[in-house]
Structure 1
Amino acid sequence: MGMAYAQGATNGGPPSSMLGALITPIAIFVVFYFLMIRPQQKKSREQKNMLENLKTGDQIVTTGGLYGTIVKFGENNRVKVKLAENITVEIARGAITEKAAETTEVAKGKSD
């Protein structure tokens, strides 16, 4: 007395599970793109635009946190920056992180 069990025909698995396996990584990438990659690209474009539009007399902040005023633009992306009275340094243009507010207390040389 043998019992026969019916087996369903399988074509390599149901198509819905394969589709679900592809949708999950794609959805993760889309979320990652909008939360991480796109804002970073926008920030990079803004930084590049700011560096291209610098001019003599602009007050800036360097990557080291130093405040100064641009005195002169040199060759090879070098910028001469006045940090204080009689103190001028030459830095790479890429070391400038942002333009400082025109009325900062540090730039005016005032201290409490």
Structure 2
Amino acid sequence: MQNKFAAVFAIFAGLSLPALAQAAPPAAGPGVLTQVMFFLPLILIFYFLLIRPQQQRAKKHKLMVENVKRGDSVVTSGGLIGKVTKVGDTEVTVELAENVRVRVIKAMVVEVRGKSEPVAAND
């Protein structure tokens, strides 16, 4: 019985030694320049489809918020529509109804309607 184990062990040991002694072939993958040329169009697509439009929207919103003045009709992010009665550095006071005034952070103003633009009717 021990002879069988010794013979099987010798066979497996003989088979595994040449496999360990062989060197692995060098990895032949794409070069760095090829990888950069692949990812560059993807980065440009992401920039023009996602990043640039978001930056333009943020710039437009910032300009709109900076130009809010007394008497403008505004819509807040909560959906409230009112008339601006006081403008501060970071806040505006909005009159929602007669003698109902709330302070709103300027960044939460979503839309500024001019003095002459009426609110749409619910017909």
TM-score w.r.t. structure 1 length?
0.74
**Identity value in percent:** 37
CA distance in 2, matches of 1:73, 1:21: 53
The structure with higher relative contact order (CA 8 Å, sep 6+) is 1
CA RMSD of aligned residues (A): 2.3
Unaligned runs of 5+ in 2: 1-25
- Does 2:78 match 1:78? no
Unaligned runs of 5+ in 1: 1-10
Partner of 1:46: 60
Partner of 1:91: 104
From the CA coordinates, give the structure whose radius of gyration is larger. Answer: 2
Q: Can you list the C-alpha shifts for 1:44-98, whole angstroms capped at 9, x where unaligned? A: 1000100111110000100101111100123x51211001122111111111111
Partner of 1:104: 119
Partner of 1:60: 74
CA distance in 2, matches of 1:31, 1:71: 44
TM-score w.r.t. structure 2 length?
0.68
The number of residues matched between the two structures is 96
CA distance in 2, matches of 1:29, 1:66: 39
